[in-house]
Structure 1
Amino acid sequence: MKTIDLFSGPGGLSIGLRRAGFGVEACVEFKRDAIETYAQHHPEATHYNSDIREIDFTQYQGKIDFLAGGPPCQPFSIGGLRKTSNDSRDMLPEYLRALTEIRPAAFLMENVPGLAQKRARPYFDSMLARMSGLGYKLNWAVLNSADYGVPQKRRRLFVLGSRTTQLCFPAPTHGPGTEKDHLSALEVLGPEQIGESPKSPVKYAKYPDLRPSPYAGHIYNGGGRPIDPNGPCHTILASSGGHKTHWIDVEEVAPKYHAHLKAGGEPWKGEVPGARRLSVEECSIIQTFPRDLVFAGSRSSQYTQIGDAVPPDFAFVIARSVFFQLNGGSSADLAPALEPDVSMIQGSL
């Protein structure tokens, strides 16, 4: 099934699509470094390194079966100003324009959960109405990548559309109610450091914000948090590379300090002993990119590319399910391809 990947970044979604059986014909990405990274694993695709508003997609009408992509999420992210449609970075209308001009048999759109919540919800509903008006049967869900074998807690909104059937989402393969535990980030990384950590020391926060878990809350400087040694990592951020980079608690200080604060102790001062922030390579591994993939550009650009991307393994599980359904398959056909058995369920928030 011939596919175009819009707002492709370094190609996490495309890697998953291709593994699932889709043929990625072209990608659109404004950032040059991301396109250079993408070209390493999809050199045969047409690479549009330009503003999507300058591309006429009618040239692909009748030639493309499937449209995929994740429009920039800043207008809807809870970490931003949430201006929604009033934000100049809102590219949902461009995704809708591409959908209108190409008229594929089906599509997948990825974004942050904030698009379907509170302030942005009326705008999201209006977009769904317009998609439905183009003749698509829709389904959408907020899924967590950790539930599908990715060593990272990353919640993302997915919208599926098809002209012939209402596509369903695959059931979780990891976590409560399944045969497998969530994958631990440290289990995937291994005991030895990989790559070079950013030069941003981890310090105790002056005014700690305590939460039930030692690995949550804001009790250290910046947005980077200690990684739970027995579970998935927090979401890898596009702003990593400095104080927002998650870190490995080499000396297991986090549970001790958490217990100290919970007992009413005074905040500690200075740097956290043994704290090591994740390198570009380690962030890439947690995001499930191929280990031999080299990200183009500066270190800052590399962190941004990784943090902005859809984890390839996450993309694969969803794309594999969609591919089988679009080609007349069922959950019984899909079971041998995904472990454990994956049955189709309708997703919901």
Structure 2
Amino acid sequence: MAELSAVEVCAGAGGQSLGLALAGFGHEVAVELDENAVNTLRKNRPSWDVRHGDVADEGVWNPKEYLGIDLFAGGVPCPPFSIAGKQLGATDERDLFAWAVETAGKMQPRAILLENVRGLSMPRFSAYRQHVKDRLKELGYWSDWKLLQASNYGVPQLRPRFVLVAMRDEDAQWFEWPEETPCKDTVGTALDDLMSKNGWPGAGAWVDKANDIAPTIVGGSKKHGGADLGPTRAKAAWAKLGVDAMGVADEPPNESHPVDFVPKLTTEMVQRIQGWRPEPEYEWDFTGRKTTRYRQIGNAFPPPVARAVGTSIANALNRRGQRKQLSDVENEVMHDRLYLALKKAPTPLTEKELVKLSGEKIDAPTFERRMAMLARDFVIDEDDQLDGRAYRLVGFKGFIGQEGHERHARFAEMRSRIS
């Protein structure tokens, strides 16, 4: 089978990159902002064209040079949608989801793969998701979203990721989401060899205690302090597994540590939990100091999950499997009815008219909350009329590549802290 071509943006330190390579994709170019992650990519794949800089800067790379690529992929920044953050969405200077869709329109790839955090699947972003699907349809693509659990693809960790796949109709008929293969490992069995390698006498008992999969590893950002394994709830879950989550160790415990010692994980162990298996094909060296390595690992898309989705895409592009009706392929239709009513309206409509057009049964307080939520991502004009306030959808607030967009100034101001 001939190797398929790929362009990857926001490539990070290579979790998605490795998974896609194992699925049969050859990278034409990989683009990443963080210098440490760029160094890791270049160390592990010296033959790749790895570009360092803002993916939205055509001085770093020019999307039009990659017309007709097989796959355009990216792990665009998570903070705009993260439950742990402010969920600013389209008004966050780090939001590149809508930009990625428009960039795909310039490149016209056969397939698109974008992944993000579970927060993007929440009701807060239902209109944003609808906007993305509608725009992809305008560009000639079928698309579908699915929430994937890393533990269902051989990774001993919860780690839900919200994934978008888009294809031309003729290819989408061959696509199916990867079959789930629940992870057989626990944290203990996955890390047995690493935790015992320095002769710690408590390793066997620790393996028995660490008898479940890990909570989601949180890589954090440059705004974050040192490396630790997540917020309070995650730390409590780690404690039940016999892990001290208040930091990352330089070395595993040794023969001098007591049997009941509560160990911290090393970056090598975190790497294993994140899906870098001990097999040679998953070998990957991370550059930088301990905290830098931890952040690169913790922010990655687990390679086995990327490999599973990449294989499904490759199978569709190569017409492997069984052809289906598009209506049978799509996992879930995500309509925001109030947003669609606003979008359809040729003239400003009142609350009563919008509610009727949407087909939803919502009271006035709910309507106001929904409109306020929509106004965070979309420009909505309001006009007081005799029969009540009227609303009209004017545009999308997000960055899609505009030269004069305020994103550029905010990005420049925050660049040293963006990761």
1:74 aligns with 2:74: no
How has the CA–CA distance of structure 1 residues 113 and 312 changed in structure 2, closer, same or farther, with 3 Å as cutoff?
Answer: same
1:241 aligns with 2:227: yes
Whichever of the two has the greater Rg, that structure is: 2
Q: Which has the higher helix share?
A: 2
**1:148-168: per-residue Cα shift (whole Å, max 9, x none)?**
111111101111111123332
TM-score, normalised by the number of residues in structure 2? 0.62
How has the CA–CA distance of structure 1 residues 228 and 12 changed in structure 2, closer, same or farther, with 3 Å as cutoff?
Answer: farther
SS in 2 for 1:52: coil
Q: 1:61 aligns with which of 64, 67, 82?
A: 67
CA distance in 2, matches of 1:29, 1:305: 12
1:52 aligns with 2:58: no
CA distance in 2, matches of 1:193, 1:147: 24
SS in 1 for 2:72: strand
RMSD: 2.8
Q: 1:101 aligns with which of 101, 106, 111?
A: 106
Unaligned runs of 5+ in 2: 199-207, 221-225, 245-259, 335-419
The residue number in structure 2 matching 1:229 is 210
C-alpha displacement of 1:277: 2.1
How has the CA–CA distance of structure 1 residues 143 and 252 changed in structure 2, closer, same or farther, with 3 Å as cutoff?
Answer: closer
Is the contact made by 1:109 and 1:159 (CA closer than 8 Å) also made in structure 2? Answer: yes
SS in 1 for 2:263: strand
Name the count of aligned residue pairs. Answer: 283
The residue number in structure 2 matching 1:153 is 158
Residue type of the alignment partner of 2:219: A
- What's the % identity of the aligned pairs? 29
Residue type of the alignment partner of 1:57: P
C-alpha displacement of 1:187: 0.7
C-alpha displacement of 1:82: 0.5
The residue number in structure 2 matching 1:224 is none
The residue number in structure 2 matching 1:92 is 97
Residue type of the alignment partner of 1:233: A
Pairwise mapping of residues 222-301 of structure 1 onto structure 2 (< 5 A)? 229-239=210-220, 241-242=227-228, 244=230, 247=238, 274-289=261-276, 292-301=283-292
CA distance in 1, matches of 2:286, 2:120: 29
1:2 aligns with 2:21: no
CA distance in 2, matches of 1:288, 1:235: 12
Q: 2:309 aligns with which of 311, 318, 330?
A: 318
Is the contact made by 1:3 and 1:25 (CA closer than 8 Å) also made in structure 2? Answer: yes
SS in 2 for 1:48: strand
C-alpha displacement of 1:183: 2.4
Pairwise mapping of residues 166-185 of structure 1 onto structure 2 (< 5 A)? 166=172, 167-174=175-182, 182-185=184-187
SS in 1 for 2:320: coil
The residue number in structure 2 matching 1:36 is 39
The residue number in structure 2 matching 1:309 is 300
CA distance in 1, matches of 2:320, 2:263: 46
Unaligned runs of 5+ in 1: 175-180, 197-226, 254-272, 333-343
TM-score, normalised by the number of residues in structure 1? 0.74
The residue number in structure 2 matching 1:190 is 192
CA distance in 2, matches of 1:251, 1:91: 38
Residue type of the alignment partner of 1:289: W
Is the contact made by 2:210 and 2:242 (CA closer than 8 Å) also made in structure 1? Answer: no
How has the CA–CA distance of structure 1 residues 228 and 113 changed in structure 2, closer, same or farther, with 3 Å as cutoff?
Answer: farther
1:20 aligns with 2:20: no
How has the CA–CA distance of structure 1 residues 281 and 330 changed in structure 2, closer, same or farther, with 3 Å as cutoff?
Answer: same
CA distance in 2, matches of 1:322, 1:112: 20
C-alpha displacement of 1:41: 2.4
**1:173-227: per-residue Cα shift (whole Å, max 9, x none)?**
12xxxxxx6421211111553899xxxxxxxxxxxxxxxxxxxxxxxxxxxxxx9
How has the CA–CA distance of structure 1 residues 194 and 137 changed in structure 2, closer, same or farther, with 3 Å as cutoff?
Answer: farther
The residue number in structure 1 matching 2:254 is none
Is the contact made by 1:248 and 1:276 (CA closer than 8 Å) also made in structure 2? Answer: no
The residue number in structure 2 matching 1:117 is 122
CA distance in 2, matches of 1:37, 1:248: 31
